Amino acid sequence: MKEIEVYKHIVQYYETDMMGFVHHSNYIRWMEESRVDYLRQINIDYTRLEKDGIVSPTVEVNCRYRKSTTFQDVVFITVTMSEFKGVKLKFAYVMKNADGDVVAEASSVHCFIDKVGRPIRLAKEYPEYYSIIMDNIVQESDSK
Amino acid sequence: MKEIEVYKHIVQYYETDMMGFVHHSNYIRWMEESRVDYLRQINIDYTRLEKDGIVSPTVEVNCRYRKSTTFQDVVFITVTMSEFKGVKLKFAYVMKNADGDVVAEASSVHCFIDKVGRPIRLAKEYPEYYSIIMDNIVQESDSK
Amino acid sequence: MKEIEVYKHIVQYYETDMMGFVHHSNYIRWMEESRVDYLRQINIDYTRLEKDGIVSPTVEVNCRYRKSTTFQDVVFITVTMSEFKGVKLKFAYVMKNADGDVVAEASSVHCFIDKVGRPIRLAKEYPEYYSIIMDNIVQESDSK
Amino acid sequence: MKEIEVYKHIVQYYETDMMGFVHHSNYIRWMEESRVDYLRQINIDYTRLEKDGIVSPTVEVNCRYRKSTTFQDVVFITVTMSEFKGVKLKFAYVMKNADGDVVAEASSVHCFIDKVGRPIRLAKEYPEYYSIIMDNIVQESDSK
C-alpha cells in the first residue's frame, strides 16, 4: 500500500458565507479535490481514466461538520478507499484544521460506467485499475 | 399542517461540469434553496431568525444521486421536516425531474445556536418557532 | 423588436460571503442566467444552438458594482444586445434592486465557433439566427 | 519593490462546465485568490485588514479570455497593482498556462471603506498600508 501525502486546501474568501465561516457545500468540492489528488498518488489519473472511456459519477455523499473553518484556514484532508463492492467504490475523508481538530468527516460512493452509461466491471475489463484499487483499500476497522 | 408548494430549480449552465451533467455539489446548494423556501412557507423567515440572534448551521448532509440532470432541466424539490430531537432538526428532500423520476434523495441536519455558539433550546427560549416546527414535522414512516 | 421580460434572480444564502453581502463573482453567473433567459425569449435556445454545432464561449466580461445586495434580495436584470461585429456579439446588463436602484452595470462579449474551434459567420452559415440577432440589437445610444 | 512569486492555481473538476473547459466565472475567483496571495507577499494580510476595521469591496472587474483551460491545467497568475487614485486601487492580472501562453488578462478595482461604509483615505488614516501600496505600484507603461 502506497504512502499517501495528506491533501491541503487553503480556504478562499469566496468560500465563506455571511455567517462568517465556510459555506457547507464547499466541503463536498474539497472531497473531490482531495480524491483526485489521492488517485493521482496511487497512479490513477482522472483525465486518462476519461480518455480510456471510463466515467466515474458520484452516487452518494455524506458529510458531518464538526467545527467551522474560515478564510485563510488550512484544511488537511486524509483520504482512504474503504470499500469496493461490485461497481461501487467508497471513499472516506477526515478533514482537520492546523490545530489537529477534526473539522469534518465524510464519505462518498462512486461507480464506473462507460460513455453510454453502461456499468463497467473493472475486475474484468480494466484489471490494471482493479488491482491498484484492491491493493489500496483500507478496511474501515483497519483504519482505526 | 401547512400545504407546501414544491420548490422549482431551473438548472443553469454554470452548474454543469465537463461530464455534461450537473456537478454533484450543486444539489447541496439546491437543498438550501428549497429549505429556505420551505421555511418561508411555514412562516419562518431566515433573515428574521438571524436578526433574532439565532444562527442555524448545517451539521450533516447526505445525498444519493439517482439520475443525472443537465442545463435547462427543471428540478422539483419536495422538502419535509422529519425529526426534531433536542437541538437538532432534520430535513428530507426528494428531487424529481419533469418526467416525475426521482433524481436525488437527500437529508440534512441543522442545529440552533446563538451568536457566541451556545446551543439554543427552541422549546424554552423561542416557543413560537418551536410550535411551528412541531406542527409541521412529518414522521418518516408517514411521509412515504 | 420583441418586448422582453426582465429577469429576476432571488439571492441565495450560498451566494453571500463573510462581508455579509453577495460575493462579486456571482454577478458574472447572473449575467449568464439572464442572457440565456433573454435568448430564449427571442427564440434562440442555447441547448438547440449546441445541438446545431454552435458553441458560444465568453470572450470578455466587465462588471461595475454600484450597491451591495444580500440574501433574499430580488435582483431585476435587463439584458440587451448592443453590438454584433464580425463574429463578436456584445450584451449589456443593468441590474436593479427592489427599490429601483442600480446595483450593477455589466457587459459581456461572446463569439460563435464550431465544435473544432473554427469561427462561424452567422450571416452566411446560419442566416436565421443572424436575422434574429440583427432585429434585436439595441444601439448603445438608443438604449439611453 | 518586492520580488513577487507567481501564484499557481490547479484547475479543479468542479470548475469545468459542459463545454469541457473552465467556466468563465471562475477566473474572477482566481483573481481574488491571487490578489490575496499577492497582498500577503507585500505584508498586507486580508484578515488583519478586516480586524483593523478596513473592508475592501470590489467595485469593478474586467476579464478578457484568450485561450481555454481545463481540468488539471496549472494556471500561473502574475498580479500587479497598477494605479491608486483617491480611494480606488487597481490590480492587473496576467494568467498563463504551462506552455507560457496567455489564457486571460484581467483587472479589478477595489476601494477601502470602514464598517459603516464610509470611504477611508489610507494616506491619512493608515499611512503604513498607504506606503506599502505606493512602494509597489507598477505604472502600466513600466510593466511593459
Question: What's the CA gap between D139 and D82, in Å, rounded?
Answer: 5
Percent of chain B at pLDDT exceeding 70: 97
Position A45 in a domain: yes
Task: Tell which wins on pLDDT, D115 or A37.
Answer: A37
Most D CBs within 10 Å: which of C61, C109, C110, as the mutation test of the D interface?
A: C61
pLDDT of res. B129: 94
Task: Say if A112 falls within a structural domain.
Answer: yes
The interface predicted TM-score (ipTM) is: 0.94
User: Taking CB atoms and an 8 Å limit, are D28 and C24 in contact across chains?
Assistant: yes
Residues on chain C touching D36 (C-beta within 8 angstroms):
none
Beta carbons of B46 and C72 less than 8 Å apart: yes
- Per-residue confidence at C36, pLDDT binned at 50, 70, 90? very high
* One-letter identity of residue A78: T
In a domain, B66, yes or no: yes
Considering only CB atoms, D28 lies closest to which of C21, C28, C68, namely C28
Return the beta strands (E) in B32-101 as ranges. 58-65, 74-85, 88-96
User: Maximum CA pair distance of chain A?
Assistant: 50
* Interface subset of A 81-140, CB within 8 angstroms of B: none
**Which residue is closest to D19 within chain B, CA to CA?**
B18
Could D70 and B21 be called an inter-chain contact, meaning their C-beta atoms sit closer than 8 Å? no
Work out the mean pLDDT of chain B and round it to a whole number. Answer: 94
pLDDT at residue B144 tops 50: no
The 10 Å Cβ neighbour count of residue C35 is 22
- Identify whether the C-beta of residue A65 lies closer than 8 Å to the C-beta of residue B69: no
- The model carries a pTM of 0.96
User: Contact, D89 vs D54, CB < 8 A?
Assistant: no
Nearest CA in chain C to D110: C65
Judged by a CB distance cut-off of 8 A, whether residue A66 touches chain C is: no
Residue B1 above 80 pLDDT? no
Are the Cβ atoms of A71 and C18 closer than 8 angstroms?
yes
User: What is the maximum span of chain B, computed from C-alpha positions, in angstroms?
Assistant: 50
Q: Residue D74: what are its φ and ψ, rounded to 5°?
A: -105, 130
* Selection from A93, B93, B25, D36 nearest residue C14 by Cα: B25
pLDDT digit string (tens) for B92-116?
A: 999 999 999 999 999 999 999 998 8
In a domain, residue B143? The reply is no
> Beta-carbon neighbour count of residue A122 at 10 Å?
20
Please give the C-alpha separations between residue A57 and each of A112, B78, B105, D78, in angstroms, as whole numbers: 7, 24, 16, 35
Query: Is A69 near chain C, with CB under 8 Å?
Result: no
With CA atoms as reference, the chain C residue closest to B10 would be C33
Per-residue pLDDT at A87: 87
Estimate the crossing angle of helix C25-41 against helix D25-41, to 10 degrees.
170
Which residue stretches of chain A are H helix?
A: 25-41, 46-51, 122-125, 127-136
Q: Is the pLDDT of residue C62 over 70?
A: yes
Shortest alpha-carbon distance between residue A21 and chain C (Å): 7
Residues of chain D predicted below pLDDT 50: 143-144
Q: Which pLDDT tens digit goes with each residue over A71-94?
A: 999 999 999 999 999 889 999 999
B26 to chain D: nearest residue by CA? Answer: D14
Length of chain C counted residue by residue: 144
Q: Rounded mean pLDDT of chain A?
A: 94
Q: Where are the alpha helices (DSSP H) in D14-90?
A: 25-41, 46-51
Q: How far is the C-alpha of D90 from the C-alpha of D60, rounded, in Å? A: 9
Q: Is residue C142 part of a domain?
A: no
Shortest distance between the Cα of B14 and any Cα of chain C, in A, equals 7
Mean pLDDT of C114-120: 92
Tell me the CATH number at D129. Answer: 3.10.129.10
- Chain C segment 37-56 residues within 8 A of B by beta carbon are 46-47
Please check whether residue A59 touches B, CB under 8 A.
yes
Q: How many CB atoms lie within 10 A of CB A135?
A: 11
* Predicted confidence band of residue A132 (pLDDT cuts 50, 70, 90): very high
Tell me whether D13 touches chain B (CB under 8 Å): yes
Q: C14 at the B interface (CB within 8 A)? A: yes
Cβ–Cβ gap B59/A60 under 8 Å:
no
Name chain C contacts of D103, Cβ cutoff 8 Å: none
CA distance D37 to D86: 24
* Residue D142 domain-assigned (yes or no): no
Name residue, grid cell 412541531: B134
D21 touches chain B (CB under 8 A): yes
Distance CA(B56)–CA(A112), nearest Å, equals 37
For residue D73, give its domain range. Answer: 7-136
Partner A contacted by D14 (CB < 8 A): yes
**In this structure, is residue A1 part of a structural domain?**
no
| pLDDT above 70 (res A142) | no
Residue B144 falls within a domain, yes or no? no
Q: Per the structure, how many domains does chain C have?
A: 1
Q: Which chains touch D (3 or more CB pairs under 8 A)?
A: A, B, C
